[in-house]
Structure 1
Amino acid sequence: MKLDVLAIGAHPDDIELSCSATVAKLVKQGKSVGILDLTDGELGTRGTRAIRLKEAEEAAAVLGITERMRLKLQDGNIEVNQPNIRKLMQVIRHYQPTVLLFPHWQERHPDHEHAHRLCREAWFYSGLEKIRTTYNGKKQEPFRPAKYFHFMQKYEFTPSFIVDVSDVYDVKQRSLEAFSSQFYNPKSKERETMLSSKLFLESIRARDMHYGSLVNVAYGEPFYSIEPLGVKSFFNVL
């Protein structure tokens, strides 16, 4: 099964917070999109592994993605080592996405920075023929996605481009509502965290409004490209 786009996050809800409106827009455009959670988020203060997995599946249904996968790495300990690189290479070679989306290299959460390094190395080494991998017992061919872009999490960067997500922003909001254990819930008896504060989701919406305002639309999600982006005509960016 080939995917057009594979979005990779360290934890369940990372993609929903960062770029789920872009995911929803791609799905609306007929693209096949997958989400890969590197960990199950089992170290999160609120909720349990079982609850978070159920919430992740509910969010995936809201977004209408082709598939949601788990790499089952240890939360709080995403190691950039050969076994983990090969695990991710197997996924990349199996689904052969044209584009990868994954975290920027500078982030507040160490897992997000480690996820960047893991994704960057797996992206590169997936294209090398002499690094051999198998999937379900079958030999895999080398494959390297054409592009990768970084989505924004806690720390801001100067975007390479901003996706107008105004027409699908309600889908992002509904995907976030699926993670009821993690975000604001006045009935919850669990310890309050930064994510569960009343202002947190409002701050996400405000940020998306801010980046939308930079390109004269209601909502926008920012991305960064380490390489220059070419266009066939400057009319394509108007």
Structure 2
Amino acid sequence: MKLDILAFGAHPDDVELGCGATLAKEIASGKKVGIIDLTRGELGTRGTAETRDEEAEAASKILGASIRINMEFADGFFVNDKKHQLEIIKMIRKYKPEIVLCNAIFDRHIDHGKGSNLVSDACFLSGLLKIDTKFDEDDEVWQDPWRPKQVYHYIQWQPIEPDFVVDVSNFMTKKTEAVMAYKTQFYNPKSNAPETPISSKNFTDSVEYRAKDLGRLVGVAYGEGFTVERYPVVNSVFDLK
């Protein structure tokens, strides 16, 4: 299956928090979108790897993603090396996305910056002819090189200044629903689980008020921001809003 967009997150819920409304908007317009989680979030204070698996599946159904895969890399300890890059390259070559979305270039959680660099490097390497990969070892056919046209990084904990903002005004409800599918992770006044930076009501509220603030800056109700690796090109200055 060829995908239009492949969104990567270091942990289940990164994609929903960072670009869930953008994905929902593109899916509604007919684009095929996939999500790949690098880890199962097994080091998370609240919940378990098993509950995160269930929550990720529920969130995917809400967004309408075509596929969701977990790479099962070690939460907190995966690195940007050849072994991990090759595994990501196999996914890029299998699904041939036009656009890849991935973690913030730097952030509070160490996995976010690592995941950003890992995916970004793999996107470049995936286009090199002399790197040989098979999706499965038993496959008879080698994968063809593939390099996405663009790699964009969504914004997470740190208030990074975006290079562009997507108008997601009609898709915040869908995003919020997908985020809150992670019942073990976010605000629940009845929960006895230990408190974390993302389990507070302030953090849950921030999902909306940060989108409102980005929207305010560009003159729409809600926005999601992204940073770029290379300058986007337009045919005309009138293509810019």
Q: Is TM more than 0.5 here?
A: yes
| 1:172 and 2:179 are equivalent in the alignment | no
Corresponding residue number in structure 1 for 2:32: 32
1:109-148 Cα offsets, whole Å, 9 max, x none, are 1101110111111011100111100012231011111111
The secondary structure found in structure 1 opposite 2:213 is helix
What amino acid does structure 1 have at the position aligned with 2:87?
K
Alignment of 1:51-130 (within 5 A): 51-130=51-130
Q: Distance in 2 between matches of 1:54 and 1:148?
A: 28
Partner of 1:139: 142
* Equivalent position of 1:204 in the other structure: 207
- SS class of match (2:171): helix
Q: How many residues align?
A: 238
Give the C-alpha shift of residue 166 in structure 1: 0.5
C-alpha separation between the residues in 2 aligned to 1:204 and 1:176?
9
Cα distance in 1 for partners of 2:180, 2:65 equals 17
Shift in Å at residue 226 of structure 1? Answer: 2.2
Cα deviation, residue 192, structure 1: 1.0
- Amino acid in the other structure paired with 1:166: S
Partner of 1:219: 222
| CA distances 1:176-217 after superposition (whole Å, capped 9, x unpaired) | 110010001111111111111111111121111000001111
**Structure 1 residue 159: deviation in Å?**
1.4
Superposed displacement of residue 233, structure 1: 1.7
Q: Following superposition, which runs of at least 4 residues in structure 1 exceed 2 angstroms of deviation?
A: none
Structure 1 residue 157 displacement after superposition: 2.1
Question: Which piece of structure 1 moves more, 198-207 or 13-22?
Answer: 198-207
Two-structure CA RMSD over aligned residues (Å)? 0.9
- Find 1:148's aligned residue among 146, 151, 168: 151
The 1-side partners of 2:208 and 2:52 are apart by 22
**TM-score, with structure 1 as normaliser:** 0.98
| Alignment partner, residue 18 of structure 2 | 18
Runs (5+) with no aligned partner, structure 1:
none
Q: Matched residues in 2 for 1:212 and 1:78: separation?
A: 34
How many angstroms does 1:156 deviate by?
2.0
- State the distance in 2 between where 1:229 and 1:128 align: 22
- Secondary structure at 1:139 match in 2: coil
2-side partners of 1:49 and 1:159: how far apart?
Answer: 32
Compute the displacement of 1:13 (Å): 0.2
- Once residues 156 and 19 of structure 1 are traced to their aligned partners in structure 2, the CA distance between those partners, rounded to angstroms, is 15
Q: CA deviation at 1:3?
A: 0.4
Aligned amino acid, residue 22 of structure 2: T
1:18-76, Cα deviation, whole Å (9 max, x unpaired): 11000000001110000100000000000011100000000000000111111110001
C-alpha distance in 2 between matches for 1:187 and 1:72: 30
Worse-matched range after superposition: 67-76 or 153-162 = 153-162
Greater mean deviation of Cα atoms: 225-234 or 180-189: 225-234
| Identity %, equivalent residues | 44
Unmatched tracts of structure 2, length 5 or more: none
Structure 2 CA distance, aligned partners of 1:227 and 1:121? 14
1:230 and 2:233 aligned: yes
Paired letter, 2:183: S
In structure 2, how many angstroms separate the alpha carbons of the residues matched to 1:220 and 1:182? 23
Given that 2:46 and 2:194 are in contact with CA atoms closer than 8 Å, whether structure 1 keeps it comes out as yes
| Structure 1 residues 161-187: Cα deviation after superposition (integer angstroms, max 9, x where no partner) | 100000111000100110010001111
The code of the aligned residue for 1:71 comes to: M
Matches within 5 A, 1:41-52: 41-52=41-52
CA contact (8 A) 2:14 2:103 kept: no
Kept in 1, the 8 Å contact 2:176–2:207? The answer is no
